[in-house]
Chain A
């Protein structure tokens, strides 16, 4: 059973590139284009994803709200989250950490290969 990753990202090209990279590595990738869709998919998914790659600034519902909702849910709170964002202020990093995020990657500072390595480190 391949490991399931929920990729929550509204930027089309990022989704395409990262999905390509992860699938190539043998992961099963599900995509949500905003936070709301992400939460719905997480709840519907069975089995639950092994990892969530989560953007912060998105339409409808942002990444922080997604994490807050996940934290409220006993099952969802167990899923590791890696934030992939274009922002990265210390306050945001702290907030994410408090909400249980495992890592925070600023997209301009990392490339898909490095993201893949972080994913591997997290779920193998």
Chain B
């Protein structure tokens, strides 16, 4: 039967069997019942069966699911179609072999279905390969995905990093900018400091140059009272080297005989003094001033300034002698005339006729004017000498004014003038050189009398004004022409209208008065209208 089927199968073309055997996939010819009638070598190889174990047996029995095969065969008969299925072949050695099996109807030449042609392709390897490939692909995909993920992450990180870096760099830029600003500010400060330093250095050099070249002697005592600076003038004054003085205290100086008078003056505590005179030797008179050196409220030392007044003193003495001699020389003949005339007029030198008396009286008055002029000149000389105000005492201005008014009472009456003196109660006292302040008021009163109009008035007033006492004297006299007013206090000045009234004035009175008032720390001024009168004012500091 086997032979027969063989003949039946491949007899038509013996070559076809060879071709079949040569095919890379298994071929089985089945009869209408699904029995294998022929199988090629490839099928036998795949199924690991011998030909005799295959032929005559149902094709379905070689597969894992025989029923499925039967169903397929039945199906293709019905549909007359061609069909592929992946099916598991069970080999002789019970190996499960995945196959791609295709089913086709086998028809005879008349077109009658006489069985089936089944192709069995072992796709285990292919499947494995595909599986491996798929795995590989899977793996690669995973790896790729991983890589992508990583890359994405990396990219992300990089982006973040970049962003951060950018932010950072922006921060840095801002910071750098800030730093640049700070740097520039610091540079400016440094420049300023440098400039300040230079200035300070320059100032220091200047100060040092001043101290070195100063005509005054300078001794600087530090916080501990030790001498820290000695200028060359000190060396010159005391004929001593600065090294011998540096580091010494004021008490140490008491050991040097020349310094003794200074030490006695300032004491061990270096007390503050202002322009105190000290005679060191016959040829050296010094004026000592000590000033505490302060730094933010703290005493950091004492500066002693020694001003040489030897020459000033000599000049002062000479001036004084000059004034004294001048006074003597000028006054001696005047006093001789005054006394002689006075004794004649008093009848001490015999009786006079009326005419003689009149002449002598006039001569006496002329002499008196001359005496006043000399007095004025001597006063001016002393003002210019610089030490005119001599003795300051606490005084009340009311009695001073009153006694002057009394002194001029006769003259006021003679000129048909009226005088009013107004004062306030509790008027504070003033610190004045009484003789000088009397002279100042006397000059003003004399002017008010001399330059008044017949029947005129004089009003003197003393009142307190803020921290001063204000004196005023108002007259109803000739006044001072406006264009002459700025010259009123000038030495030897006399207004033309005043000269017409009285040819005798020296032009010194108001100059002397102004100097006296100002030497007392006061102020003097006036208001005047020509033909109507003048009011002179002065103030003096009131003593509380």
A107 near B339 with CB under 8 A, answer yes
Interface: A1 (CB within 8 A) = no
What mask results when residues 380 to 404 of chain B are scored 1 for a CB within 8 Å of chain A, else 0?
0010000000110000000000000
CB contacts (< 8 Å) of B374 on chain A: these are 108
CB contacts (< 8 Å) of B343 on chain A: these are 17, 20-21, 111-112
What mask results when residues 13 to 24 of chain A are scored 1 for a CB within 8 Å of chain B, else 0?
110011011001
Task: Select one of A11, A57, A92 contacting B336, CB under 8 A.
Answer: A11
CB contacts (< 8 Å) of A24 on chain B: these are 348
CB contacts (< 8 Å) of A108 on chain B: these are 331, 334-335, 338, 371, 374-375
CB contacts (< 8 Å) of B332 on chain A: these are 11, 86, 107
With most chain B CB atoms within 10 A of its CB, the pick from A18, A57, A86, A112 is A86
CB contacts (< 8 Å) of B320 on chain A: these are 89, 91
A93 to chain B, nearest CB (A): 9
Interface: B328 (CB within 8 A) = yes
A11 to chain B, nearest CB (A): 6
A90 near B339 with CB under 8 A, answer no
What mask results when residues 317 to 349 of chain B are scored 1 for a CB within 8 Å of chain A, else 0?
000100111011011101110111011001011
A83 to chain B, nearest CB (A): 13
CB contacts (< 8 Å) of B375 on chain A: these are 108
Q: Given the complex of chains A and B, what is the CA–CA distance between A87 and B330 in angstroms?
A: 10
Interface: A45 (CB within 8 A) = no
B348 near A112 with CB under 8 A, answer yes
B48 to chain A, nearest CB (A): 162
CB contacts (< 8 Å) of A73 on chain B: these are none
Q: Given the complex of chains A and B, what is the CA–CA distance between A90 and B388 in angstroms?
A: 9
CB contacts (< 8 Å) of A80 on chain B: these are none
Interface: A123 (CB within 8 A) = no
Taking CB as reference atom, which chain B residue is nearest A114? B342
Given A86-B327, A89-B382, A113-B342: A14 and B348 interface contact (C-beta under 8 Å): no
A88 to chain B, nearest CB (A): 7
CB contacts (< 8 Å) of B382 on chain A: these are 89
Instruction: Name the prevailing secondary structure of the B interface residues.
Output: helix
B348 near A106 with CB under 8 A, answer no
B390 near A107 with CB under 8 A, answer no
CB contacts (< 8 Å) of A90 on chain B: these are 390-391, 435
Q: Given the complex of chains A and B, what is the CA–CA distance between A88 and B379 in angstroms?
A: 11
Task: Select one of A13, A87, A106 contacting B340, CB under 8 A.
Answer: A13
Q: Given the complex of chains A and B, what is the CA–CA distance between A107 and B382 in angstroms?
A: 19
A92 near B324 with CB under 8 A, answer yes
Task: Select one of A13, A18, A88, A112 contacting B327, CB under 8 A.
Answer: A88
Taking CB as reference atom, which chain B residue is nearest A12? B336
Q: Given the complex of chains A and B, what is the CA–CA distance between A18 and B335 in angstroms?
A: 12
What mask results when residues 80 to 104 of chain A are scored 1 for a CB within 8 Å of chain B, else 0?
0000011111111000000000000
Q: Given the complex of chains A and B, what is the CA–CA distance between A12 and B365 in angstroms?
A: 23
CB contacts (< 8 Å) of A86 on chain B: these are 327-328, 330-332, 335
A112 near B339 with CB under 8 A, answer yes
Q: Given the complex of chains A and B, what is the CA–CA distance between A107 and B339 in angstroms?
A: 8
CB contacts (< 8 Å) of A106 on chain B: these are 331
CB contacts (< 8 Å) of B346 on chain A: these are 111-113
B340 near A17 with CB under 8 A, answer yes
A87 near B339 with CB under 8 A, answer no
Q: Given the complex of chains A and B, what is the CA–CA distance between A14 and B334 in angstroms?
A: 11
A37 to chain B, nearest CB (A): 19
B339 near A111 with CB under 8 A, answer yes
B328 near A87 with CB under 8 A, answer yes
Taking CB as reference atom, which chain A residue is nearest B327? A87
CB contacts (< 8 Å) of B331 on chain A: these are 86-87, 106-108
A58 to chain B, nearest CB (A): 10
B335 near A14 with CB under 8 A, answer yes
A82 to chain B, nearest CB (A): 15
In A1-59, which residues have CB < 8 Å from any B CB? Answer: 11, 13-14, 17-18, 20-21, 24, 57
B348 near A20 with CB under 8 A, answer yes
Q: Given the complex of chains A and B, what is the CA–CA distance between A11 and B300 in angstroms?
A: 64
B321 to chain A, nearest CB (A): 10
Q: Given the complex of chains A and B, what is the CA–CA distance between A112 and B391 in angstroms?
A: 29
A sample of 5 inter-chain contacts (CB < 8 A) reads A86-B331, A87-B328, A89-B323, A108-B338, A108-B374
With A87-B328, A112-B348, A113-B346 known, 20 other A-B pairs at CB within 8 A are A11-B332, A13-B336, A13-B340, A17-B339, A20-B348, A85-B328, A86-B327, A86-B331, A86-B332, A87-B324, A89-B320, A89-B323, A89-B324, A89-B327, A90-B391, A91-B390, A92-B324, A107-B335, A107-B339, A108-B335
Q: Which residues of A are in contact with B by a Cβ distance under 8 Å?
A: 11, 13-14, 17-18, 20-21, 24, 57, 85-92, 106-109, 111-113
Of all A-B residue pairs in the complex, the 3 with the closest CB atoms, nearest first, are A107-B335, A86-B331, A90-B390
